[in-house]
Structure 1
Amino acid sequence: MTETATQDARPALGVMMYTVLAQARADLEGTLARLAALGYLGIETYGLVEHFGPARVRDAIAAAGLTLTSAHTPFPAGKDAERLLDENEELGARTLVWSMEREEFDSPEAIRRGVQRVNEAAENAAARGMAIAYHNHFAEFANTFDGRQAYDLLLDALDERVVVELDAYWAVMGGADPAEVLARLGSRARLLHVKDGPAVSYEEDVMVPIGEGRIDWERTLTTPSGLQWHIVELERLHLDTFEALRRSHDHLTGRGLTRGGDVPAPTEEQA
């Protein structure tokens, strides 16, 4: 399957596999089948290729009827570039997602140095027909220099081929309005990490099902942009992960904010 959403123009609904990493490492095929049964259409890989190898992960995604939205993998730059590109080419990934480090947003000079690595990755990826997507945390928005957000300095310096995976939750943590950021990004925004919670502490926040936390998803997800995928990521939970994913799917699709798959009707025993 390809990474492009078809027919329905709304972004499709996926899962960032960090959310179910322990479950997937214990039972890859069963976990992916369960995500598909919940109505998710795609996944962003994380920590699976290193564990199972790219071929098994690729085949398991296809067997579950899911789409590979993207691969969360280090920037293919420096000495590991060819290995990373080879792995992701075998996986079938077209978009490779990663972040710069928090300390790389401590000054404009640090940002410029860090961007060199991202732009090298973009050049390397383009030679394989792949794209690099930049994923933010909170320092990109919290840090400002002469009245400008570090994120703006980053975008100015990035190779124009680098697209964006916006993490709305961490943008809020940095003091930004994700709807406004999406409006600014326009067609450059391709992927959105959808997570919810109190948005108080980067290290300690416990996530909740989408729609049960602080983020205004109605406003954020109806902002015109180039988004193709809404990718749910719930990093720390105090309830069953699959229950949280079910409630997240129901909230997002029930309000028409995103496009999910068909969910089987409950049996009499489940009702």
Structure 2
Amino acid sequence: MPNPLSVQLYTVRDLIAEDRDGVLRRLAELGFDAVEPFQPTVDPVGFRKVADDLGLRVSSAHAMGLIQDEDPSPVFEAIATLGTDLAVVPAGIAEEEFTTLEGLARTADRLNALAEKAKAHGMRLGYHNHWWEFEPVFEGRHALELLADLLAPEVVLEVDTYWAAVGGADAPSVLRNLGDRVAAIHVKDGPVVKGEPNLVVGTGRMPVTEVLAAAPNALRVVEFDACATDILEALGASRAYLAGLADEQGGTSA
């Protein structure tokens, strides 16, 4: 695989609440090389030590505080402590802002200003989508695609390919259109229906092979928003599937 295979820790949020260190150890045992935290300000020093001891890289970090806090500096500092330079806004901008051109312009201004603050901390700013950035279409282009045109060059995207599909987009086509703007992708699978649990990658309706081929250099982050089976088993099976694809394509498995 072109990058270490990461896991968005929101996937195992309930387990982490009970035993963070044990869950990180289990993810390392499953063969994952990296993790993507979603609460970076919660004990970043302790988290970093455990991750380092396990050989887990922090690939990137989600943080609602980036968009919600009046001063995001402590959030950037925590993310730096974790050992990554990719700070991702996971949500927090009103869905209505993606339904008009004026709203997209306001959103771009907001993210561009935040990117300047990120740069001052030696960080890159990313934006992660849900379905509502794709449902609105303007002259054949999804709202997120128009937003990308308005973003400063240093702002990158972490495209959640599953939510893109739920929002009505052809995920591989979107990834190709966005090109190098895409620094990371969330690799997920399922029935592509809102409210239904995700499935092991490779067993749902997502064209996973095409998705990966459309963003060959992007960081891969596996995520489950919900899972009807044992989540660690599902993560292990997803990792095995993706490693198998890499082997078939002549790459190295994660």
Q: TM-score, normalised by structure 1?
A: 0.85
Task: Tell me whether 69-78 or 243-252 shows the greater mean CA deviation.
Answer: 69-78
Q: Please give the per-residue CA displacement for 1:154-187, whole angstroms capped at 9, x wherever unaligned.
A: 0111111011111000111111111111212222
Distance 2:124 2:35 in 1: 17
Q: Which runs of 5+ in 2 are unaligned?
A: none
Partner of 1:88: 79
- Matched to 2:226, the amino acid is R
Partner of 2:155: 162
Q: Please give the per-residue CA displacement for 1:224-262, whole angstroms capped at 9, x wherever unaligned.
A: 5431x211101111110111011101111112277544x
| Identity percentage of aligned residues | 35
SS in 2 for 1:231: strand
- 1:47-196 equivalences in 2 (<5 Å): 47=39, 49-50=40-41, 52-74=42-64, 76=66, 79-98=70-89, 99=91, 100-196=93-189
**Is 1:200 matched with 2:193?**
yes
Partner of 2:32: 40
**Is 1:242 matched with 2:235?**
no
Q: 1:224 to 1:193 in 2, by over 3 A?
A: closer
Distance 1:205 1:60 in 2: 33
Partner of 2:5: 13
- 1:245-264 equivalences in 2 (<5 Å): 245-256=235-246, 260-261=253-254
Distance 1:224 1:139 in 2: 22
Distance 2:52 2:155 in 1: 27
Would you say the 8 A contact 2:158–2:183 is kept in 1?
Answer: yes
Distance 2:152 2:79 in 1: 21
Would you say the 8 A contact 2:60–2:86 is kept in 1?
Answer: yes
Q: Please give the per-residue CA displacement for 1:68-113, whole angstroms capped at 9, x wherever unaligned.
A: 0101013636622222222222222300111333222121111111
Would you say the 8 A contact 2:44–2:82 is kept in 1?
Answer: yes
- Report the count of equivalent residues: 248
Distance 2:81 2:36 in 1: 15
Partner of 2:208: 217
Distance 1:259 1:192 in 2: 19
Task: Tell me whether 103-112 or 87-96 shows the greater mean CA deviation.
Answer: 87-96
Q: 1:259 to 1:167 in 2, by over 3 A?
A: farther
SS in 1 for 2:116: helix
Among 24, 28, 34, which residue is 2:20 paired with? Answer: 28
Distance 1:183 1:218 in 2: 14
Partner of 1:226: 217
Structure index of larger Rg: 1
Distance 2:189 2:133 in 1: 19
Would you say the 8 A contact 1:39–1:260 is kept in 2?
Answer: no
- Matched to 2:114, the amino acid is A
SS in 2 for 1:80: coil
